[in-house]
């Protein structure tokens, strides 16, 4: 057997796909597995203990409810989307957030090329900026945290989501922009305000042609030993599961990657 794809730092050993070093490698791994997968192979993937592979298979099953050659904008059947949402909840043992489920319900296969979603109608939080310390300011209730600007690849405007651990000792912050690109999630010690880890999220990366504004919304959920990043934008719906303690990526899913599995098989 080969050595498999190059591994990115900060990912688990749970399955080859989640160890992909770049979004392109991840996409190519999905294409290799699903492009020629028949019904039996799809069932095998659905039953895998590898949640990255299983959730991708559940989405591919939903994609196949739209027959090849259907009209330019074909809405996904509501029953197929409901089954997918139920599969995600069962695989990850977490209830997807409302905004994510609302986005999922709007899924349309546009121009027989990619899956699009309605722009999320969700409240957004914009961080403040401490010019003296060159840091973004985010808040959770009365608590205030500063994240140095050098932690970001872009100086553009940011939106953020924040949640605290049940014991109140840690804050988890997602800082993202209105473009379909990578963005960081941080674990911050509440008492000291220090960043304990930073993990780059790939979920909404757009690997197609062109770029531009892409309204999106991200929710963070904490369950047991995982923090879940649920996101939806007009070009992609995605999930990434991170280990609470280390930030290692345990599960990764994005509809934009699966759009490259073409042609869709009936």
Segment 205-216, tens digit of pLDDT: 666 544 556 778
Closest CA to 241 of 266, 231, 258, 146: 231
| Mean pLDDT score, 21-50 | 93
Cβ partners under 8 Å of residue 223, min gap 6:
93, 94
pLDDT value of position 135 = 85
Contact 163, 154 (CB under 8 A): no
Q: Residue 12 pLDDT > 60, yes or no?
A: no
Say yes or no to pLDDT of 136 above 90: no
Q: Taking 50 as the threshold, does the pLDDT of residue 77 lie above it?
A: yes
> Is 3 a residue whose pLDDT tops 90?
no
Query: What residue segments make up the domains of the chain, in order of their start?
Result: 17-113, 128-254
Phi/psi at 257 (5° precision)? -70, -40
- Whole-model pTM: value is 0.88
Q: What is the pLDDT of residues 160-212, one digit of tens each?
A: 788 888 888 999 999 887 777 788 999 999 999 999 999 999 976 666 544 55
Q: For domain 128-254, which architecture applies?
A: Beta Barrel (2.40)
- For 208-245, the pLDDT digits (tens) are 544 556 778 899 999 999 999 999 988 889 999 999 99
What is the arithmetic mean of pLDDT over 78-96? Answer: 97
């Amino acid at each position: 057997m080969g050595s498999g794809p190059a591994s990115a730092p900060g990912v688990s050993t749970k399955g080859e796909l989640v160890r992909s070093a770049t979004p392109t490698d991840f996409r190519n791994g999905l294409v290799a597995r699903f492009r020629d997968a028949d019904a039996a192979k799809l069932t095998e993937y659905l039953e895998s203990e590898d949640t990255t592979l299983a959730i991708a298979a559940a989405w591919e099953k939903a994609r196949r409810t739209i027959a090849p050659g259907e009209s330019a904008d074909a809405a996904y059947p509501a029953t197929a989307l409901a089954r997918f949402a139920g599969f995600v909840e069962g695989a990850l043992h977490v209830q997807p957030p409302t905004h994510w489920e609302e986005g999922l319900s709007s899924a349309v296969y546009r121009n027989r090329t990619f899956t699009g979603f309605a722009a999320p109608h969700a409240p957004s939080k914009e961080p403040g900026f401490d010019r003296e310390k060159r840091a973004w300011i985010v808040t959770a209730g009365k608590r205030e945290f500063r994240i140095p600007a050098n932690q970001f690849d872009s100086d553009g405007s940011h939106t953020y989501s924040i949640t605290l651990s049940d014991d109140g000792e840690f804050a988890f912050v997602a800082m993202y922009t209105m473009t379909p690109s990578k963005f960081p999630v941080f674990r911050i010690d509440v008492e000291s305000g220090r960043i304990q880890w930073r993990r780059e999220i790939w979920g909404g990366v757009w690997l197609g042609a062109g770029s531009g504004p892409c309204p999106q919304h991200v929710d963070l959920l904490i369950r047991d030993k995982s923090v879940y990043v649920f996101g939806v934008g007009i070009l992609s719906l995605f999930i990434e599961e991170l280990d609470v303690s280390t930030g290692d990526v345990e599960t990764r899913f994005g509809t934009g990657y699966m759009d490259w599995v073409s042609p869709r098989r009936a």
